[in-house]
Amino acid sequence: MPVQRTNILLILALFIGVAFHGSSIFFTLETTYDALIHLFFADHYAQTWFEPWDYRWYTGFTVQAYPPLVHQSIAILSYIGGLKFGMFAIALLGVLLFITGAYRFGLLITGNRRVAGYTALLAVFSSTFIETLHIFGQLPSIIGLSVLLHALPEIYLWIKTGKYRYLATSLSLIAVTVTSHHVTPIFGMVFFIFPLIGMVLMDAAKDQVSTTKAITFRVFLVQFKKGIWRIMGFGLSSLVLIVVCILPYWINSKENPITQVPIPHGSRDDFLEVASSGLVFFLVPWGILLFVLPYILYRYFSKRYLFFGLSFAALTLLGTGGTTPIPRIVLGETAFNILTLDRFTLWATIMALPIFGEFAYRLVEGDLKSYLQNRLGPVYHRILGGGIATGILLMVIFTMSLNYFRPSQPQKIKMLPIVNFLNQDQHDQWRYLPLGFGDQMAWLSAQTNAMTVDGNYHSARRLPELTTRAIERLENSKFRGVEGIGSLQQFLTVPEKYNLKYIFSNDKFYDPILYFCGWQRLQQLENGIMVWEKLNVPPLPAILPKEDVPTYLKIMWGTLPFLTVLLAFLINIQWVGYRMLKSKPLPQGEFLNYAVSYNGFSRPLVTVNHIWAILLIGTLGYGGYHFYLDNATQITPKNVVMAYYDALDFKEFERAHSYLNPEDDVSLSQYMLEVSVTDGILSSYAKLDSIGVELLGENPTSARAKVYTQWITPLEKVKKTFYHTLLKNGGKWYIVPSAFDNDLPPDQLFSSNGTAFYNQGRRRITTQQTHHEDVLKQPVLEVLQAKLVKYQGSYSIVGELQNVDNIPADVVIKATLYNDEDNELANFNAKYHMKHKLMPKETTPFRIDFEGIAWSSTQDTLPPTFDPDEFTPVALAEQPTQFNLQCAGNVVVTDLYKHIGLQDLEFTESGMSGVLFNSGIQEVTVPQLLFSYYSKDKELLWVDHYFLEEGVRIQRKQMFNYSPLKLTDLDVIHSSLDLCFVNGLPNAAITEKVFPNRFPSHAQEQLQPYPGDAFEFLKIDINGYIGNPR
Amino acid sequence: MLWFGCREADTENPSALISYEQMPLKSEFFAGDSILIHFKGNITDPVHLVVSNAWGSTVLTPTWKDNELTFRFPKAFGQRAGNCHWALVKNGIIYDKGEIFIRPNPKKGTAMESYLGPQSIIAGKADFSMFVTSPTDIYDNPLSDSTEIKYYYQRMDSAEQESVHLKNLIGWKNIHSTEKSGRILVTATCNHSNSKELSTLVNPANPVDFQIAYKRIHPYADGNQIITFSTDAILDEFGNIQSDGTLVSFSITDTKGRVLQTIGTTINGVAEALLLHPTEAETWKVTAYITGAAKSNTITVDFEAALKDFTLSLSENGRTLNIEEMQSFMGQWIPDGMPISISIHDEKGTLLDSKRTTSRLGKAQFTMSKDFYPNGSYTLTLELAGMNKKMNVNLK
């Protein structure tokens, strides 16, 4: 037996791997998608090891929804150096396990230590591994897969030799895999272990005949019969392990089946259509492997590797997502929508590594080298080698920099001010909600015991408001359109239901919806995060519901994972020692006997691979050219319009200005000035959703374009049509700048007086309950009208309310519908069909719609696009006939700006137009008009709202056009003030005491006569959101 | 009493298995006194005294001295006012029982708990706040019924004093509102011990009708200057000035019957609201409301047209329409921003487009480019400051 020598390539691979990955994880891991989620889970175990229930996310969820080994390991390490230390340590361990695993897998497949060394070295630089670790941060997946790779040689040896020692080692490693990641062993069985068994049988069959060619199906079958007991033994034992090791997981999955509707994932896209998904989920993980695909297929489809070949082909195909219909057919609709298909690509590329290693070996020092040198000359060989090496390096750099150039996460947020805020003044007695935090929300949750309604592990969700929506998190709901904003709006409108009082906003996109749902700004923290609060939300009860599990499951969950590691350690330690220290020769792996000798590279293969590579380069080049053409901004009138709006959407005004006709002499500074003074929902809070350009007339030098745009705003979808004149000038198309409003306000400097309010909060500094005399009296409100109406098939409550107190009030109105038998049918709060902040004696109309949970019945089809104001009426079992109104007033001191006047009102063919005039000293960012419709008898019928797309600047005007509704389809079902309550007191008592001599004529005299469809009068109320109060 | 109720079913055997004699025992104490019960006679261990009051029960063990047993009540039992029952128990058998009464002990000092609410009331006769006091001794025992508590009120300039008597643990009084708005301060004294100062705010009652006026720089409808409407000080029926921030809405009906609006909030009873001058001659009828409660007089505001005329000229090919010499009342250029619109109809009278622009330095311009308006004849309707001008053009 030859003396075993340390494999220098493996050492090199480990050395470089640890240096490269070990140092870069500190810059990448925290901005990955998943790493911080695992950190949060680890924090859970660090706090309560045996208790699987965590109250902090989703109003409570169980951590038994994810295998615990990696999380528990981080938790153990966190006792030494904190959570992040634990995470980085585990990541480093993952790197080590992966490189050694790749080495052993390479050795198993090729039987050649040198080739295995190359495999290990290539594994370090494989773009798929880099992406999984540095972009996705899938630590459990990496650990699970690496351990599986370590298990493969042991399984081979068990089946081949039948020594029980190998059964023990393989099963111990499988157990570790199971406890770190549940999907890996299940699919690993199918895609790695089955082909491995096939390979063992092939090898056994080869022992019976002289050459591989002589293996017939009959010989193979004989071997299969011989090995069947070993295979069965292994298969059944691993099945038992998979079930037992994470038994609580399976029980939990059965009892809480994932009711989540499928959440779109890029790996299911058509990669040709969605280029970004194709890049991330196909081009990057495959990387340079794409160029040697013919070689890999050729080798894997040789007789010995035939089963690997089939598995590899299947994985490759499944990894293409929605590009071809095959994955959907193979996996079935359900599995296709639940699984993220990128894992198939990951496994395919890992499986390809040994063959790629073999290719590298043969190119660098084997038969391919001599063949190329002989046939095409040494220079070509060097160029080819250099080219591939450059390709690998470029892929590494490209993959590592993906997050740098296109960050998937918002800037790193300092969490300390938020944590302090939650800890102070009993703020953690309520739930909070972060907005615009990205995956960093998990890091925030890990640092506080305060609870949120959101969360970052959607398989564990329980609230139907969330499981029925295809959104990842509420926190980034703007990216998921209708489902996202719709779901968020439900939480914002009825926060009492979830004890949700505080919102940390890191994205001003959400600000208008917060304001119009009745939230108010509390303070800006030192890290720039704006805290919003909602009044009238009760604190969390002292005892929260939880789903308990039997103690034996808790103990299993808390102990088994580490026991598997301990056991695997004990069983494998002896050989690991031999392997590392070479103190004693290790039993030779049987698979070493089946190494192929590399003499004579297949000539046609060289040709085929060359053709393939050239085709590939051609395709990439063609794709690149088209990319350029689509993005060459000024080649056609259409392109310049698209580019202009793209620039506006991303607020790149300098670029937008470059598309303006230079002959019109609009200087950049002038343009910037004009742009900067327009504020409003469209320019500050909207995302361009879609754009269509219609050319109304085009001739060689000029064109007129009608641009249909759809903008997603937090409040509603805005459709707007713009007209542009385009000119061709020097071979390029330009946009003729549109005229600008010349309006000049009369005063350069002016003063404005107003009443400002301040609420001390607790006058006495105390950690006890607030002192009796520091509790403010709730402002008294009076409901003036309330009606249950049915309009276009859905029920609403409309009415009017007045703040009859002497202090400003924040108003919350909750309505409940009842049928004739007094059974409750539905309840909801007023959303943005009212003014939530009222000055003394101010009135507001209101309308309460009863929203259901969207798509709660599975038959409903998901709308294909984005529509934030899409409304799902609640499904009522019976006809509501009565209602109850609960109004609550709370003292408010902010958002009381009332200086918006209405003038120049005109009735037009399509409705009415008018001008809003801002006479105060705050810029109104999003003006809102509330239109109340009245009957001939001046009875309230309906309330409608209208958001102006542009803001009203100080002392300036803003025009609006409004088309009144047709109310022919409106029925007033019930009109009564009997069941209206204010601050828990009956409304009638308030009327009697506070406003005994009301003049109803006052309200009626202020109505605007309007010849409408089934209504005679209108009233206009004005409300406005101020984006930047000064 | 309850204690007896529970006890009666127990094995009670007063038959003198042992002989003893109860030493003289007071039946009334003051809270904080030390309470001892002695027994004398032929009693052997184990013997206990079960003591029970409104807060709970405890078992006492005696101290022996010669033939005399002494039970010392724990402090907590001696400090709690009310009935306190005791029973002498040996081997589960009650040999003797009795009860003592502990009175509150104001001699050592009195503490005062006091509440006043609501913290704001409306001026007039009807509304009131309730002042509730509960004087206690230093052991937190409410004092005996009919203890006198003195209430002091400071209503504006007048100070008042009144006595109430404790009943059912509390003394209370409704403090009626005054006609004048302001703050009422209250405090209470009992046994020379004072409460903290509490206050309720008397807010003005609902407003009564008021007067409005307007202020402007000039009477011309230039669409640029600002007119200010203001109220006089808005009062309630008692002459109190309305709370700051009270909302007044000004409703303006123009000549066409459209209802315009602007809003003001009061400071010292006076609300001001602003609006731009119209762009054409107008007569505004203005009324202000505090909806449901009060209304102002109606005033009429007339605006004269500022822009009386302008010149229109077309370029040679008819494609540029120049509006010039837009002069205001002194001959100056109309302030920038006067809105101008044209509608372009073709020969058949179909509306092709309507364009809007605003004036700058008394001028404005519309262009009809050849790319979109082929040569031919069109009708242009120009609208400016309430004036309409129609013209036919022939585009070349």
CB contact under 8 A, B371 and A842: no
- Model pLDDT for residues A718-777, shown as the tens digit of each residue: 788 888 888 887 778 888 887 777 778 888 898 888 899 998 877 777 777 777 778 888
Average pLDDT over residues A896-912: 90
pLDDT at B5: 35
- Per residue, the 3-state secondary structure of B85-154, as one string, reads EEEEEECCEEEEEEEEEEECCHHHCEEEEEEEECCEEECCCCCEEEEEEEEEECCCCECCCCCEEEEEEE
Higher pLDDT, A851 or A860: A851
pLDDT at A865: 38
pLDDT at A686: 79
Average pLDDT over residues A164-189: 89
pLDDT at B19: 67
Q: Please give the Cα distance from A258 to A392 (Å, whole number).
A: 40
Tell me, yes or no, if the pTM score tops 0.90.
Answer: no
Q: Which domains does chain B have, with CATH numbers?
A: 2-103 (2.60.40.10), 107-203 (2.60.40.10), 212-305 (2.60.40.10), 311-395 (2.60.40.3080)
CB contact under 8 A, B336 and A744: yes
AA identity, residue A376: L
Report which secondary-structure segment, H or E, holds A19.
helix A8-28
Confidence of residue A715 (pLDDT cuts 50, 70, 90): confident
CB contact under 8 A, B226 and A919: yes
Q: How far is A965 from chain B (nearest CA, A)?
A: 19
- How would you classify the pairing of strands B68-72 and B63-65? antiparallel
- A34 shares contact with chain B (CB less than 8 Å): no
pLDDT at A23: 93
- A751 shares contact with chain B (CB less than 8 Å): no
Kindly tell me if the per-residue pLDDT of A90 is higher than 90.
Answer: yes
Taking the CA of residue B82 as centre, how many other CA atoms within 13 Å lie in the half-sphere pointing to its CB? Answer: 15
Q: What is the mean pLDDT of chain A?
A: 86
Q: A512 and A480 in contact (C-beta within 8 Å)?
A: no
AA identity, residue A48: T
pLDDT at B18: 61
Q: How far is B150 from chain A (nearest CA, A)?
A: 21
CB contact under 8 A, A757 and B245: yes
- Model pLDDT for residues A764-798, shown as the tens digit of each residue: 777 777 777 788 889 999 999 999 999 888 889 99
Confidence of residue A872 (pLDDT cuts 50, 70, 90): low
- Model pLDDT for residues A581-636, shown as the tens digit of each residue: 666 666 677 788 888 888 878 888 888 888 999 999 998 898 888 777 766 777 78
- A527 shares contact with chain B (CB less than 8 Å): no
Contact list in A for residue B279 (CB cut-off 8 A) is 904
- Model pLDDT for residues B32-83, shown as the tens digit of each residue: 888 888 888 777 778 899 999 888 999 999 888 877 888 898 988 889 999 9
Q: How many helices (H) and strands (E) does chain B have?
A: 2, 34
Most confident of B90-104, B273-287, B361-375: B273-287
- A900 shares contact with chain B (CB less than 8 Å): yes
- Per residue, the 3-state secondary structure of A345-410, as one string, reads HHHHHHHHHHHHHHHHHHHHCCHHHHHHHHHHCHHHHHHHHHHHHHHHHHHHHHHHHHHHHCCCCC
Q: Which of B118, B207, B265 sits opposite A898 (nearest CB)?
A: B265
- Measured from the Cβ of residue A854, the count of other Cβ atoms closer than 10 Å reads 21
Give me the sign of the Cα torsion angle A13, A16, A18, A20.
Answer: negative
Average pLDDT over residues A398-402: 89
Confidence of residue A392 (pLDDT cuts 50, 70, 90): very high
Most confident of A655-669, A801-815, B360-374: A801-815
Radius of gyration for the alpha carbons in chain B, expressed in angstroms and rounded = 45
**Which of A728, A736, A749, A806 to mutate to test binding with chain B, by most B CBs within 10 Å of its CB?**
A806
Contact list in A for residue B261 (CB cut-off 8 A) is 901-902, 1006, 1020, 1022
Q: Which of A843, A898, A903 sits opposite B291 (nearest CB)?
A: A843
Q: How far is B246 from chain A (nearest CA, A)?
A: 5
Q: A966 and A1013 in contact (C-beta within 8 Å)?
A: yes
Confidence of residue A2 (pLDDT cuts 50, 70, 90): very low
Counting residues of chain A whose pLDDT is more than 90, the rounded percentage is 43
Q: A646 and A707 in contact (C-beta within 8 Å)?
A: no
Q: Please give the Cα distance from A637 to B171 (Å, whole number).
A: 86
Average pLDDT over residues B295-308: 91
Torsion of CA A782, A783, A784, A785, to 10 degrees: 180
Taking CA atoms, B271 is separated from A894, A968, B190, in Å, by 20, 40, 47
**Which of B132, B242, B260 to mutate to test binding with chain A, by most A CBs within 10 Å of its CB?**
B260
- Model pLDDT for residues A306-354, shown as the tens digit of each residue: 999 999 999 999 888 888 888 888 888 877 887 888 889 999 999 999 9
Q: Please give the Cα distance from B307 to B221 (Å, whole number).
A: 8
pLDDT at A902: 94
Q: Which residues contact B256 (CB under 8 A, 6 or more apart)?
A: A906
- Model pLDDT for residues A921-973, shown as the tens digit of each residue: 998 989 999 999 999 999 999 999 999 888 888 888 888 989 999 998 899 99
- How would you classify the pairing of strands B28-30 and B93-103? parallel
Kindly tell me if the per-residue pLDDT of A221 is higher than 70.
Answer: yes
Kindly tell me if the per-residue pLDDT of A854 is higher than 50.
Answer: no
Q: How far is B19 from chain A (nearest CA, A)?
A: 56
Confidence of residue B329 (pLDDT cuts 50, 70, 90): confident
CB contact under 8 A, B262 and A902: yes
- A992 shares contact with chain B (CB less than 8 Å): no
A916: which strand partners? A902, A958
Contact list in B for residue A957 (CB cut-off 8 A) is 276
Burial A50-74 (b: 16+ CB within 10 A, else e): ebbbbbbbbbbbbbbbbbbbbbbbb
Q: Please give the Cα distance from A454 to A491 (Å, whole number).
A: 10
Residue B23 buriedness (CB in 10 A; 0-12 / 13-18 / 19+): middle
Contact list in B for residue A746 (CB cut-off 8 A) is 224-226, 335
What interface predicted TM-score (ipTM) does this complex get? 0.83
Kindly tell me if the per-residue pLDDT of B12 is higher than 50.
Answer: no
Q: Please give the Cα distance from B324 to A114 (Å, whole number).
A: 90
Q: Please give the Cα distance from A805 to A808 (Å, whole number).
A: 8
Taking CA atoms, A210 is separated from A204, A235, A304, A971, in Å, by 12, 30, 14, 91
pLDDT at A190: 85
Torsion of CA A73, A79, A83, A85, to 10 degrees: -90
Q: Which of A753, A1000, A1008 sits opposite B259 (nearest CB)?
A: A1008
